[in-house]
Structure 1
């Protein structure tokens, strides 16, 4: 497959966004990937937004400021100026997750994704206190009728498709013209693919975060494309009931019960039951943990959060701490010894409010983590890596490296010819 360095078009639309626009602009201009064109469409702001844009206009490919008919009209104006192979929207208040985001996407695209029309990644939510949490969806693009399965700002779409289809600007679609565009492309047979890259972060409260309006627009879209049937009616009736309950005192009771089941009961009762099939069934159903075939979580492990995935034939020994507040992924044939801590969340000690933040931990295949080792937020353990007992790992470990100490440093290499299965299920464990 021929490697390419495509131009990526980035579009930002803004109206009276002086408080947030500069961080958005900087997240685009600070990208390490060089082949980027940047387009900013302002809706004739009156709060000083234009002055901030002018500070960076020598690095912006095109920008304009004029009245528009709303956010989707502004997005269409931006699309008309794009010349890149793909286009991504990073609207005011959102930002690209890291300086290497676009470079990572292009690298992944070159290795395996060149045939796809729509490439989407993951997103994080910016809470009011500044902390970050993973945004998750319960379905994939193969079940698009259930609603969006990714944040629109985490999507790179082929520019030619955007220019041909554009966003509908109408009174019927107040906040979901982006999903209308995505669903239209889905129905026309455009190819979608998910990538395991955090693409963007966005403010928790935004123009489109209205659950009632989302439901109304989604139903309108399904009817528009003739997908309003018994199955979809049943599903959206259920979703509507959940939204209604979320605004009532019943939801507070439900949340309290759920917290009791996931945090207290799971960690002080269920984790002591000496039968795997009971513990695993509970963790899957109540805690929402994904546990692959042949993998085992032994007695007395403490689990918090539910963003945890364990692939096949891996073993988590007794008294380990699994932190699913950020994303915790454990690959195939991983051996985790007793009392290991995998911590995805911490606090910003420089923050006046001691802000909580989370970062992913990725443990690749054939990793062995020794007893009482600690893996800190944001660490990736490469295939076949060995973490010696008692080590504290603060940064990524390369494949097949053996690391030890506080902080952990590389001391030797491991044999690369690995072919074993550490999975085991002890009686009454």
Structure 2
């Protein structure tokens, strides 16, 4: 089973080596690694090129933002399974893809997902949040559930059948895609009860009221675009579910070895 991993980056020279090394050091052999750069000007291109043919595909050109770049990477992918890993982030250990493939093979699922850690941007041993996705049950999206997007590995066939990221959405493009794949089109899921991704904190924030209201409107549009109707409380449960991520602790601290 070939796995395509896609990293999109723009001016990510500070951390992209950690991301690249976490993929190239995976014990699983059949990985196609694709990097899509938005024409960086900070040395990112030179860093990526320094890895030579260990990176299967590399393009550097202007794009229309994060999700346009992700769509380009998906279009280049030839693997049976596609995973996404942003330039600031890295895999929790070197057997993540081994575990992902074993889960696909054992379950026959369309997609596999796990848990994520958010850590301090400069000190990756300092935990900020622990996103424990938990097991999926039918209609879980109506109760504010969603898996961590970067922990989500999908068969390439899902993208072929159900489409790519919508570029008319900003903060909710990942939510809409997961809603479309899982809730609307009933993709068969399997949960990996382990942390797969470590993310540096510092993405688009919903901490202030204005950002949360804008995100809520986009989440609502995601349902409408798919011809779906949420409960009146669905879109407020979604951010409320995140509260537990700040108090729950993972079984292994961010800097500890995992076997």
- Give the TM-score normalised by structure 1: 0.53
Q: Give how far 1:85 is off.
A: 0.7
With over 3 angstroms needed to count, the CA separation of the structure-2 counterparts of 1:22 and 1:212, relative to structure 1, is farther
CA distance in 2: counterparts of 1:101 and 1:32, whole angstroms: 8
Q: Report 1:15-414 matches (<5 A).
A: 15-110=10-105, 112-114=106-108, 116-128=109-121, 129-130=123-124, 131-132=126-127, 133-137=129-133, 140=136, 142=138, 143-164=140-161, 165-170=163-168, 173-186=169-182, 187-207=184-204, 211-229=212-230, 232-237=231-236, 307=248, 325-327=249-251, 357=254
Residues 8 and 37, structure 1, Cα contact 8 Å, conserved in 2 = yes
- In structure 2, runs of 5+ residues without a counterpart are none
Q: Give the equivalent residue in structure 2 for 1:427.
A: none
CA distance in 2: counterparts of 1:118 and 1:95, whole angstroms: 20
CA distance in 2: counterparts of 1:174 and 1:196, whole angstroms: 29
CA distance in 2: counterparts of 1:238 and 1:219, whole angstroms: 13
CA distance in 1: counterparts of 2:49 and 2:61, whole angstroms: 15
Q: Secondary structure at the match of 2:196?
A: strand
Q: Give how far 1:226 is off.
A: 3.3
- Give the TM-score normalised by structure 2: 0.85
Q: CA offsets per residue over residues 251-299 of structure 1, 9 Å max, x none?
A: xxxx9xxxxxxxxxxxxxxxxxxxxxxxxxxxxxxxx9xxxxxxxxxxx
Q: CA offsets per residue over residues 44-65 of structure 1, 9 Å max, x none?
A: 1111110111111320000000
CA distance in 1: counterparts of 2:65 and 2:56, whole angstroms: 22
CA distance in 1: counterparts of 2:52 and 2:219, whole angstroms: 38
Computing the radius of gyration over CA atoms, which structure comes out larger, 1 or 2?
Answer: 1
Residues 326 and 358, structure 1, Cα contact 8 Å, conserved in 2 = no
With over 3 angstroms needed to count, the CA separation of the structure-2 counterparts of 1:137 and 1:35, relative to structure 1, is closer
- In structure 1, runs of 5+ residues without a counterpart are 1-5, 244-254, 256-287, 289-304, 308-324, 328-343, 346-356, 360-376, 379-395, 397-429
CA distance in 1: counterparts of 2:155 and 2:223, whole angstroms: 23
Q: Secondary structure at the match of 2:150?
A: helix
Q: Which has the higher strand share?
A: 1
CA distance in 2: counterparts of 1:190 and 1:92, whole angstroms: 28
Q: Which has the higher helix share?
A: 2
Q: Secondary structure at the match of 1:233?
A: coil
Q: Give how far 1:239 is off.
A: 6.2
CA distance in 1: counterparts of 2:133 and 2:110, whole angstroms: 21
Q: Give how far 1:188 is off.
A: 1.6
